[in-house]
A and B are shown apart, each in its own frame.
Chain A
Amino acid sequence: MNEFDDVVIDARDVVKTYDTGTVQVQALRGVSLQVRRGEMVAIMGPSGCGKTTLLNCFSGLDEFDSGTVLIAGQDIAHMPDDRKTEFRARDMGFVFQTYNLLPVLSAVENVELPLIVSGTRPKVARELALEALDRVGLRAWANQRPAQLSGGQRQRVTIARALVNHPSIVWADEPTGALDSKTANEIMDLIVELNAAERQTCVIVTHDPKVAARCHRTIHMADGVIVREDSRETMQTAAAASGAE
């Protein structure tokens, strides 16, 4: 396996402009980024710098104006919506800051949704969902609804949902943003552990240097462009410094 084959996300010159009718905001100004299989990459930067837009465009949740994004060699810019949706269902998992669980479904039902969407038989989907919940330590809470779970538990359910179909890429947008630092640490432990175990690629948008320090490398953005890239070690030093402050 050569180095190129190992690149699972290959984005080049991606431009994205938001047009509100009165104002045009360039959220991404020609961003290029490669992420390898099994790699955990953090995207950092101030509010409004384009982190979430990058995640949305690269994962196929949003359209972009120009540039190319190849996921596992497939150009998602030119994929029809249905195929893109199928691709997401099969190969991607998502973790959001606000959990985005369906309040009307129980934890296990939330987790099994991506499997059911991909056509897995309901009985099998239920077993796999329970296994996923087991992995995040929530098997006992499988039948609780999101409202009956704590913030950390909800985020674990989200992670279980993101990983239940063994996707090749997990996209996480501020996965610890709504959590206290202890719970945030536990969640990051879980993500790192699962990443190590399953060799999934993780792209994590975060404000938190401690979260970034747990990733293999950190991309810094400002005003819609990548301005710097740091290694884990650099980030660990920065995190330690910010912790000391």
Chain B
Amino acid sequence: MNELFGVSMTIIASVCVAVTALIFAAIGWIAWRNPVMFKMGLRNIPRRKAQTALIVVGLMLSTLIMSAAFGTGDTLTSSVSSEVYSILGEADEWISWDAQKNPAPQEEQVIPLATVDDWKQRLAGDPDIEAIVPLQRETLPVFNTRTRLNEPSARIVAFREADAAALGGLRDTSGAAVQLTGRSIAINEDLARQIDANVGDAVLLFYQGQPVEFTVVAITPSNVLSGAVDPFAMRGGTVAFDTFAQLTGRGDVADAVIVSNVGDAHGGLKRSDAVTERLEQLLEGTPYRVIPIKQQLVATAEFVGSAFTAIFVVFGLFSIAAGILLIFLIFVMLAAERKPEIGMARAVGAKRRQIVESFLAEGMGYDLGSAVVGLFAGMGVTVAMVQVIQYFGGDSLGLNLTVQFTPRSMVTAFCLGIIATFLVILVASWRASRTNITAAIRDLPETSPVDPEASTWRGYYRAAINGIAAFSLPIGASFFLFGPPGAVLGAPLIVIGLISPWFYLLRNSDVAAPRARRTGEPAPRWPWLLGVFLPVVGWLLILPWYAAALLLVRVVRDRKPEALPRWLAVGALAAWPLAFVAALLQTWRVRVPWTAATAIAFGIAGVALTYGGLDRDSAFFFLLGVSTIFLWAAVTLRYFGVSERLAFTATSAVLLALWYVPSQWLEPITGPLEGDIEMFFLSGVVMVTCGVFIVVYNADVVLPALASLGSRFGRIVPALKTAVAYPLTSRFRTGMTMAMIGLIMFSLVMMSTINTNFASLFLNDEAKGGFDVVGSVNENNPIDDLGAALAAAGVDTSPVEATGIARVANPQEVEVQNRDGFVNTDDGTVAPYSRVKVFGVDDGFLRAQDLKLKFRAAGYATDADVWAALASQPNLALVPADITSSQQGFGGSNLRLRLKPLADGFEPFTLDLRDPGTGEVTTVTVIGQLKESADTFFALGSPDFGTGLVITGQTLAQAFPAARGQMFFLKLRPGTDSEAFAKQVEGALVQASADSLDKLLSDQQRQQTGFLLVFQGFMGLGLIVGIAALAVIASRAVVERRQQIGMLRAIGYQRRMVALSFLMESGFIAIAGILVGLVLGLSLAWVLFTTGDFGDGTEQIDFTVPWLQIAVICGIAFGASMLMTVLPARSASRVPVAEALRYE
């Protein structure tokens, strides 16, 4: 995997390693400068071993998620790449007819061997080209006369022996050279497995219905010389060129030419650019084109790996967010535990910086341990995920997944884990260092000094100028969202934003004090050191700005006015850069209401984001901005004296309601906004935060209500009493833990609900379309009369109630008018014709089918009217459901036809269908759009799982006479075993494959379940965080409340009552978190589906709640939470009473 989110992995890894090295250097610096505080921090680690273990488990999650995501990406990249190398072998480039630029009938799309020989001569001295091998290819049915097993679509190739000599020629699985003459055939391992063939077996190849007998002379590896084309079309064989040319009647032509570069399968790749360029020059003016096929497929492998990594990283964001909350919570609790120690250290002269250093030392101990554990755990998770994908994906994956970890990815995951944890620890340590010394020593609650200007406009003004000054960087950055005008506004703020953090760092130092109070203590030196030693970042982003801040502080420290000039006071709010000047001129050590200041800054950034979102049609930025504004509103209301409960409950409730508003209701105001998978994460974070605010600020109503349920059981009343009281008083801990559990539950519930409903949209019984068996016929051996063919093969056709036949024109045989002018080329331009598959169905199909339509054109009251019209009138068409989707699917091609969304009762419209071979145009009128389940119906029977337009067989024959694809559909009498009958049909018709639609559907469902399991399992890892948080809280509570436990036991609490109280306390938090995630996830999914925000047609489904899955998820979450609390609860119940009473 070379890229993630479009950024080179080498760059990501380099930056991560550099930052990690810097972190370790900083820690080394602390250890050297301040060994006492460093040791004080480190010695805390082994103090409570169980707690340390819990902390490491909690902290490891970020690394685990990253290494699992990267490991999966690496595995997919390497597995797909090795498949590519294995199939293509030494073939690097592929020359074939350029049908797009030079339409011609299929049989004319060939390259004369004389032309190829001419190329060989002209390229004879090329230092990069090793071999040029012209091939003839056909897809033919192969039947083993010994085993009576067949393969309807084997890829048979032929090449001249001399041409392939430079590649070592055709070799069998033992490496021996294979000679092909006359009616001998070498079949590859995949085909041999399918038809159970051995050397010496006689096999029949069918060409235009005529069997030709060949003898198997060798079994070869599956590669391009033995017919393998791609991971989904591996079965093939090789015959002598002359024999094949004679069989097909083509003579001295090739269908394609493979070019092999100098070097082995891997080594030739690096010459591909040069060779492709020379071949393009060679082919200029000819109807042929060259594709650097190996390079393209390896790039696809890279893309697949990167895309999967990106998906897993995005899904892992929930767990990472929960993990960050946990890290913060853990360190806040550690700080609380050490409060008296911190107080004492501060009292005897330790500076705040030294407290931070001590915490950092301890934190880095945990961080390092957890990153190592997380890395290996993540690798273990990768192995498990790959096993599950392989198990559920089965053959349909088309490749063998081999677990692979690249050192670069693993180093990156390790460093990212270290960095994320370090940053959170840094913030938490800073918070811990701010404690009041007296309060800390006496372990009293923190109190803040009274601000005489609190809750006044004057105080708010102070908050505003400081907020704007201190957070100019994010405000300025957010302005850049709306193009050049935003850049003009944002640039000065960014400059200020680079200086102002240093100014605020220096503001309380001696260097900023007025002359009378200065003691001569030097300004902090560490920013200089950082600036000098950090290459690029230090010189550009630290040194000049720290110097500027120092200069400013020195200039203004003795020149501060008694009061700000009026013009500046007013101007600072109008012209924001002036806010920095106002902040600079503030009286020394003026108290700043930082919460309000931060909220104001983020409120401004929120407005910019909202505007930027509207400007760029981005739902993400718009809703992020709006949500930020609501946060500002809540803090501001509180600042002006509105009760915290009211402020946060009201704003959270309104914001939640806003998230539920369907996008079409907002569209008249906002215009159409586009959102992608990132909305999933944003909605989760914002909605769960709102939910948690509402619950936590109203917990005194919610928890007693929950508790009242339990109060019916008299014996647990005492335990309930304390179980409810503690979470109510520790809002911060309760809220954080609820948020962690809520976030993960939200993601799991949403995922499971979305999946269930999409499955019911695509993979329901409607997808059988009224038929039971689907078959695909080899294009070189069409069946004219299916019934007769079956009867002739001795199949009892009495179970067949109805038969439908569809002729199929594949996308390369069809050009269809790009009616709505979508970009339909790989180079981003709009060409007049797109490609699409077309199904031409016969009368039997039209009579027997039971397919559903999504939209009908005006004038057609029912689905039956549409089907009847199709049967009776020529040149009518139906379009597939996915043709109007903005998503072309994973790795979908631009070339495919797209249409603007339709609606029920749309005006019938025409589409021109052009035969690229003849240039003939047939115009069809679209009168309906198939439902998603109908798309699935056509896809299930197609070898390429493709959907397409539906017209009648007659129209297809007229529009695309050369189209040779054929499918058949059988409706069986009730009670017939469709799987057995399909096998019977397949055995009888050598040129056709047949499958039970029931089986195909259940295979698809099974695959989907497998992938869902992988994603849910991956996202569920985050639950470890929530559960670990509960365990950490409970363990900490046992220590904190030791004396109280002693007292409870003294006044008569039985041991089990104490344990029960702890369990119920965790239970309440877990239940509240689970409910928040469950209610929000389910309700949002419901809104998105019922309003059609999940895509056209989703509003038509019967919204299904996967109660069983949800119950299992909730059960696991709750059960695990309880399990993790059992140990602390048990230890609480065993606290020796007398000893506990003495504990302080």
Please report A residues at the B interface, Cβ cutoff 8 Å.
52-53, 56-57, 59, 61-62, 81-82, 85-86, 88-90, 93-94, 96, 98, 100-105, 109, 113-114, 116-119, 121-122, 147, 161, 173
Contacts and interface: CB of A to CB of B under 8 A. Distances in A.
Contact of A85 (B721, B722, B1053, B1141): B1053
A119 B714 contact: yes
B1050 A94 contact: yes
B1069 to A, nearest CB: 14
A161 B1051 CA distance: 9
Contacts of B1048: 102, 113
B55 to A, nearest CB: 25
A166 to B, nearest CB: 14
A109 B717 CA distance: 12
Contact of B1047 (A89, A94, A116): A94
Contacts, number: 90
Contacts of A90: 1052
B1045 to A, nearest CB: 10
Given A109-B725, A117-B1053, A173-B1141, 13 more contacts: A52-B1138, A52-B1142, A61-B1137, A93-B1051, A96-B1047, A100-B1050, A102-B725, A102-B1047, A102-B1048, A104-B726, A109-B721, A118-B1052, A122-B711
A102 B1044 contact: yes
B729 A86 contact: no
Contact of A61 (B715, B722, B1054, B1141): B1141
A234 B450 CA distance: 53
A145 to B, nearest CB: 8
Nearest to A122: B717
Contact of B1054 (A85, A101, A114): A85
A56 B1053 contact: no
B1055 interface: yes
Contact of A96 (B714, B721, B728, B1141): B1141
A105 B726 CA distance: 9
A88 B1051 contact: yes
B1137 to A, nearest CB: 4
Interface residues of B, number: 32
Interface in B705-740: 711, 714-715, 717-718, 721-722, 725-726, 728-729
A167 B718 CA distance: 19
B807 interface: no
A179 to B, nearest CB: 17
A81 B728 contact: no
B1050 A62 contact: no
A100 B1139 CA distance: 13
B1090 to A, nearest CB: 43
12 contacts: A61-B1049, A61-B1138, A61-B1141, A62-B1138, A88-B1050, A98-B1043, A102-B1048, A103-B1044, A105-B725, A113-B1048, A113-B1051, A173-B1141
Given A61-B1137, A96-B1141, A85 B1049 contact: yes
A119 B1051 CA distance: 13
A61 B1050 contact: yes
B1144 interface: yes
Contacts of B717: 116, 122
* Most chain B C-beta atoms within 10 Å of own C-beta, residue among A88, A96, A104: A104
Interface string B1035-1079: 000000001101111111111010000000000000000000000
B485 interface: no
B1052 A147 contact: no
Contact of A104 (B445, B729, B1052, B1141): B729
B484 to A, nearest CB: 57
A103 B1050 contact: no
Contacts of A62: 1136-1139
* Most chain A C-beta atoms within 10 Å of own C-beta, residue among B725, B1044, B1053, B1141: B1141
A88 B725 CA distance: 24
Nearest to A86: B1052
A119 to B, nearest CB: 7
B718 A116 contact: yes
Contacts of A122: 711, 717
Contacts of B1044: 100, 102-103
Contacts of A93: 1051
A102 B1141 contact: no
B489 to A, nearest CB: 49
Interface in B442-488: 445
Nearest to A93: B1051
Given A82-B1054, A114-B1052, A56 B1138 contact: yes
B1136 A117 contact: no
Contacts of A53: 1138
A242 to B, nearest CB: 27
A57 B1138 CA distance: 8
A143 B1137 CA distance: 28
Contacts of A102: 722, 725, 1044, 1047-1048
B721 A116 contact: yes
Contacts of A173: 1141
Nearest to B1054: A85
B1047 A100 contact: yes
A104 B1136 contact: no
Contacts of A100: 1043-1044, 1046-1047, 1050, 1141
Nearest to B1056: A82
A85 B1141 CA distance: 15
A113 B1138 contact: no
Contact of A105 (B721, B1051, B1057): B721
Nearest to B1052: A89
A3 B1055 CA distance: 37
Nearest to A102: B1044
A99 to B, nearest CB: 9
A117 B1051 contact: yes
A56 B1141 CA distance: 10
